[in-house]
Each structure stands twice: as C-alpha cells, then as structure tokens.
Amino acid sequence: MDCEPVLLAHVGRPDSHTLSGYEAAGGYTTLRQTLRDATPQKIVDVVKESALRGRGGAGFPCGLKWTFLPQNHPGPIYMCINADESEPGTFNNRILMEEDPHQVLEGTILSCYATRASTAYIYLRYEYPQCLKRLQAAIDACYDAGYLGKNILGSDYSLEVTIHRGAAAYICGEETGLIESLEGKRAWPRIKPPFPAVEGLFRKPTVVNNVETVACVRHIVQRGAAWFKSIGVPPDPDNPRDIGSFGPKLYCLSGHVERPGCYEAPLGISCRELIERFGGGVWKGRRAKAAIPGGISMGLLTAAELDVPLDFVGPVKAGCLGLGTAAVVVLDETVRMVDFLHNSCRFFKHESCGQCTPCREGTDWALQMLERIRAGRGRLIDLDLLLEIGDSIGIMPGTTICGLADGAAWPIKNAIRKFRDEFEHTIRATNPHGYMATDPVPALEMHALQH
C-alpha cells in the first residue's frame, strides 16, 4: 500500500514551520476560498461525507461529533485541540506541530468555522517545548497576517486561538479531563451525559478534536471527500456499524526496529508491512515477539498476528482494544513479557487519576502483583487475579467513568491470554517452591515497592 504523503508533505523542509514557507506551498488558500465561498454547513457536510474518524484514539466519526452541537446556539462555542499527546510510543502530533504548525492551524480555523466556534484552545502537552515555541510563533504570525483575530481575511468570522500548556498528566488527554484541566480544576474526567458537545468547557458547547484530525480536515476541505475516501479501507459489509477507515494516517513506529520514526501510510497497512518496509525490519536481525498496535493501552499483537491491517477494526479482530493512536511498538524475542506487563502496569498505576475506585485500586494491585512475580514470589493464581482485574475495570464493563482503565486492562488481558505459557513458565522457574500456593500472601516490604 502506498500513497503520496499529504500530512507530512512539507516535513523536512527547512522553512516548513514558517508562514512564508507554508504560504509558498499553497497554504491558507483553502481557508481563503472557504471563507469567501462556503458556508459552515458545507464544511460539516464534506467532513461527514469523508467519513473522517478521530485520530486521537477512539476513532469517533468527526463529522458526526460536530453535528451533536446544539443548533442555533447563541454561543460561545468552544473548540479544544487535544495536543496532550501522552500515549506511550506516540509522537505524530509532535511532528505536525513542530514541523508544520500552520497546517494544524489552518485545519483548526476551518474546523472552528464549521462548528461556529469563537475560541479555540490548544491543550499542549507540557513535555513539548519546541511545539510550544513553533506553534506560538505560528499563531502570532497568523494574527499579524489576518488569518486569526477579528474578521478573518475580511469575512465576518472571528476566531481567537490560545495555547494552554498542560502539567504533564496522561489523564488530561481524556476529553473531559482536558476540559476540567482547562478550567483550572483537577483533571478528573466528567460523568456523561452531558457530553461536551452540549455542555463542555465553561458549561458551553465544546468540540474536542485531535491535532491530526484537524490537519486531515484541512486536506479534506481542499481536496474533497472523494479524494479522502480513495485512500484506506472501505467499511466491512458484514458490520453495519463500521463506517470504514479512510484517509492517510501517521504511524509512529518505535521499539526494536532498525528505523523508528513517524511514517505516513494509508489506513489499513499491515503491521508487518509497516515494520518491514518503513522500519527496516526488527533490529539486530532478531525476530519480533509481539507488537503494540496503537499505543500501549491497545494491547498486544503476537508475532503471528502481525498481518492484521492497522485500521480501526483490524486490531479489534485480533483481540486488541482498537487502533488507538497508531503508535506501533515492536518487541523483539528477547523481551520478557513479565517485564513488559510490569512496565505497562507501572505507567497506568502512575497515571490513574484516582477518581473511580476500581481503576485507582485495581491498577495499583496489578502492579503490586507483578512486582511480586518479578521478585520471584509469583503464584500461578496471580495470573487469574490479574485477569479478573483486567476484565472488571473500564468503561466497557461499566465500572469506571473514563477509558483509562480500559487502557490499563487491555495489556494485562492480552499479555496473559496470548503469552500465558511464558508467564507460567516464568513463575514456575522463579518460584519453584511456591508457585502452586493459593493462600493470601504476606505483603512485600514497603521499601521493596518504592521506585
């Protein structure tokens, strides 16, 4: 599968981040034309027709999300651009914002025009200082050039864009957590309903879109829905709820490959092709043991499952949570799955916001069990307990408010179900006298649990 790079077309050029460079490559002509000729509704229609699905992780249809906004609302309506990219292994938003910030801004302005938003907040991850610098410079240049502010390009549409820098918390990437954080509160995700489209930021209708999503919007408006639908995977005719996976996608390839990086490919490229063609194969001549399809929270693909297409349904069929952020992390044959799972659990335990009991305590408990297994005191029964935790936390069973717990649960479920033999072998080998024990075990000393 191949396509001409669109989102990354200008990446690598020395002036790609400047306004002059962007304009020289035809930038902002789409915006100019749109403001002159098109109604907001027309933009919504073309985005709906393109079947663009959100790139932030959940893959919710973008056009549909926009139509949830109340009609004829007196305003203000807010747009939040989710640039709190914290899923481990993911860095596509960073490339876009650092290398081509005007593409993101043009997409933002078009999306705001379509949704009639009067203010856009870019919620930027704290760890991206270069993004902050480039994006702020781009915004300042846009204000000077009349692409932002009052009466953009002489039209009657006005828009303010503000960057809000987060304080480095994974949970702020959850859309209602982001909104709470933006309001200056603790980023505890909100209960829904009401959904942000009805009552979001400052209790006003709000749309939250990912950076890559709005970048796609810019190209859809320029080239039309038909172009967008010519790339990617059409809907599965047997699944009436599938609307297809169209368009180009930025895949972040990392882990044990020869050439890690952010690559643009049509949705539906297989994991193996991505590793072989773009990544130059698994490093050091080794074989892949497993791969994370789209950020650590999506679960694991085994070596045998590497041919699944990386679209919005492919990883689900292989038992993963979904495509997520399309951040592919490759694990070579030397990786111990216990260590992988330990690392995953440590991350989610650290990032759990602590609002819902099952996630707050469950992620901690899972981590403590893996600590014990790694310390040579594992029991086979621990695997069942881990699976019980994995199966019972998350919005899918309904026990938490947001999806963080699902993200914590999926690596546990996938790793243990797909690599159970290895886990059992590790436990038997490291705890030859106690692996069959079922009695409650004494707790590890607190100092052994400190990191």
Partner 1 sequence: MAVALVNGVEVELDSHEKLNGIQVAARLGIEIPHYCWHPGLSVVASCRMCLVETGTRDPDTGEISMVPKLVPACQTPARDGTVFVTNSDKVRQARAMVEEDLLIHHPIDCPICDKAGECLLQDYHFKHGQGQRRADIRPFTSRRRPMGDTVTLFVDRCVMCSRCVRFTREITGTSELMVVNRGSHEEIDVFPGYPLANRLSGNVVDLCPVGALGDRHFLYRQRVWFMTSHAGICTGCSTGCSIWIDENQDRVYRLKPRTNPHVNQWWMCDDGRYGFDYIHNAERQTRRRVREKDGQHVELEGSELPDRLTRDLKSAGRLAAVLSPHMTVEAAYLLTQFIRQFDPQAMLAMGPVPVVGADETFPNGFCIHAEKCPNRRGVEEVLAHAMGRIVTWDELTEAVASRSFDGVWIAGGYPSPWIDETSARTFDDVGLLIVQDVFDSPLWRRADYQLPGGAFAEQEGSYVNVADRIQSVSWAIRPPAGVETEVRLLWRLLERPGLCRVRDVLHEVAVEIPYFHEAVHEIPPTGLDLKTAMLAASMD
Residues at the interface with partner 1 (CB under 8 A): 169, 186, 188, 191, 349-358, 360-365, 368-369, 372, 385, 392, 395-401, 440-446
**To 10 degrees, what angle do helices 101-115 and 129-145 make?**
60
Q: Which is nearer to partner 1, 108 or 400 (CB)?
A: 400
Strands 78-83 and 119-124: parallel
Integer angstrom CA distances of residue 14 from 97, 100, 104, 264: 14, 11, 18, 19
Minimal distance, residue 352 CB to partner 1, in Å: 4
Minimal distance, residue 405 CB to partner 1, in Å: 10
Minimal distance, residue 196 CB to partner 1, in Å: 17
Q: Which residues contact 241 (CB under 8 A, 6 or more apart)?
A: none
Q: Which is nearer to partner 1, 166 or 244 (CB)?
A: 166
| Tokens (6 digits) for 362 | 């469950």
Strands 248-255 and 261-266: antiparallel
Closest CA to 389 of 348, 436, 430, 447: 348
Q: Which is nearer to partner 1, 104 or 296 (CB)?
A: 296
| Tokens (6 digits) for 107 | 């997409």
Q: Which residues make beta-bridge pairs with 309?
A: 270
Looking at this protein, which amino acid is placed at residue 80? Answer: C
Q: Which is nearer to partner 1, 200 or 362 (CB)?
A: 362
Q: Which is nearer to partner 1, 255 or 390 (CB)?
A: 390
> At 188, which helix (H) or strand (E)?
none
Q: Which is nearer to partner 1, 113 or 188 (CB)?
A: 188
Minimal distance, residue 384 CB to partner 1, in Å: 10
Q: Which is nearer to partner 1, 188 or 251 (CB)?
A: 188
Strands (DSSP E) along 154-287, which ranges? 160-165, 206-210, 232-233, 245-246, 248-255, 261-266
Q: How far apart are CA 47 and CA 243, in angstroms?
A: 13
Query: How does DSSP classify residue 53?
Result: B
Q: Which is nearer to partner 1, 188 or 278 (CB)?
A: 188
Cα torsion 90, 92, 97, 102 to 10°: value is -160
Q: Which is nearer to partner 1, 120 or 187 (CB)?
A: 187
Minimal distance, residue 1 CB to partner 1, in Å: 35
- DSSP string for residues in 268-302: T-BHHHIIIIIT-SBGGG--EEEEESSSGGG--EE
Minimal distance, residue 321 CB to partner 1, in Å: 15
Q: Which is nearer to partner 1, 17 or 379 (CB)?
A: 379
Minimal distance, residue 190 CB to partner 1, in Å: 9
Q: How far apart are CA 303 and CA 237, in angstroms?
A: 28
Minimal distance, residue 346 CB to partner 1, in Å: 11
Q: Which is nearer to partner 1, 233 or 393 (CB)?
A: 393
Angle ∠(358,361,367) on CA atoms, nearest 5: 120
Half-sphere exposure of 378 (CA within 13 A, CB side): 25
Looking at this protein, which amino acid is placed at residue 127? Answer: E
Minimal distance, residue 442 CB to partner 1, in Å: 7
Integer angstrom CA distances of residue 348 from 210, 279, 343, 386: 22, 28, 9, 14
Minimal distance, residue 438 CB to partner 1, in Å: 10
3-state secondary structure of 162: strand
Q: How far apart are CA 85 and CA 127, in angstroms?
A: 9
Backbone angles phi, psi at 119, to 5 degrees: -140, 140
Minimal distance, residue 82 CB to partner 1, in Å: 20
Minimal distance, residue 364 CB to partner 1, in Å: 4
Cβ atoms of 51 and 244 within 8 Å: the answer is: yes
Q: Which is nearer to partner 1, 245 or 352 (CB)?
A: 352
